[in-house]
Amino acid sequence: MKSNINLDPIKGYFQHKLATFGTTPRGADWNSEQAQEMRFNQLIKIINPSRKYTLLDYGSGFGSLYTYLKKLDHQLEYYGFDIVESMVSQGNQLHKNDPDCHFISMENEIPEVDYSIVSGTFNIKLDVSTENWTDYVIQALNSMNRISHKGLAFNMLTKYSDLEYMRSNLYYADPCFFFDYCKRNFAKDVALLHDYGLYDFTIHVRKQLE
C-alpha cells in the first residue's frame, strides 16, 4: 500500500513509547493490559479457532496479540507487521524460538492469510488531517481485504466520544461510514460492535461463513 502521508513522525512516536516503557502495554501506547485485552477480545470474535489458521496482525507492535491468542490455546501461524523496526526487532527477539511467529516491516512481505486484525493502529494521526488519514485507513483496509480469505476485523476510536476528552492528535472515526464501506466493498456479512463500554468500535468483515 502506497501512501502520500509521511509516517516518520508516527514511527518516532512509537519508537519513543517503546524506548520509554519497554515491552509492556504502555510501550505499545495502551493504558493497561486490561484495556488492550478487552479490545483483543472483541476483535478475535471473527476467528474460528477450531482449526489452525493464519493471521496478519497489522500494526502488531512486538506481538501482544499473539501472546494473548496463545494463552487461549489458539493454533495459528502469525505474521506481525509493523512500520516501526524496533517493534519488529523486539517481536523477533521475544518469540525467536517459535517457528509459527513471524515479524516483518515491509508490506511486500505480507503473505495471504485467513484473517487480518488491526488493533489501535489507526488511532494516532498526529498532525495529519482527518480527511487524509481517512484515505490512508481506507487504503490499508483495502490492502488487507485483498489478502484475507476468511475475514478481517479492526477497531478505531469513535466520533461519538465525549468532546471534553477528545484530542487533536487522535483519529475519531465514523462507525457508520466504515460499516457502510465494508458492506459495499468487502462482504455482505459485516458486524459493527459499539457496545462494550469503551470509546471505540470494532468491525468484523466475515468473507467465509463457518
Q: Give 141-167 pLDDT, tens digit per residue.
A: 999 999 999 999 999 999 999 999 899
DSSP 8-state symbol, 43: H
Task: Answer whether 166's CB lies under 8 Å from 129's CB.
Answer: no
Q: What pLDDT score was predicted for residue 24?
A: 87
3 state SS of 37: helix
Please report, in angstroms and rounded to a whole number, the separation of the first and last CA atoms in the chain: 29
* Range in 41-45, 106-110, 180-184 with the lowest mean pLDDT: 106-110
Give 3-42 pLDDT, tens digit per residue.
578 889 988 988 888 889 888 878 887 777 888 899 999 9
Mean pLDDT of the chain: 93
Q: Give me the residue spans of the domains in the chain.
A: 8-206
Flag whether pLDDT at 101 surpasses 90.
yes
pLDDT of residue 209: 65
42-68 average pLDDT score: 96
Under 8 Å between Cβ of 151 and 115:
yes
Q: Is the pLDDT of residue 114 over 70?
A: yes
Percent of the chain surpassing pLDDT 70: 98
* pLDDT value of residue 1: 47
pLDDT number for residue 210: 60
Q: Over 70: is that where the pLDDT of 187 sits?
A: yes
* Structure confidence at residue 3 (pLDDT): 59
Is pLDDT of 96 > 70?
Answer: yes
CATH superfamily of 8-206: Vaccinia Virus protein VP39 (3.40.50.150)
Q: Quick one: how far is CA 90 from the chain centroid?
A: 18
Per DSSP, the residues of 56-113 read: EEET-TTTHHHHHHHHTT--EEEEEE-S-HHHHHHHHHHTTT-TTEEEES-GGGPPPE
How many whole angstroms separate alpha carbon 9 and alpha carbon 205?
A: 30
Question: Model confidence over 124-142: pLDDT tens digits?
Answer: 999 999 999 999 999 999 9
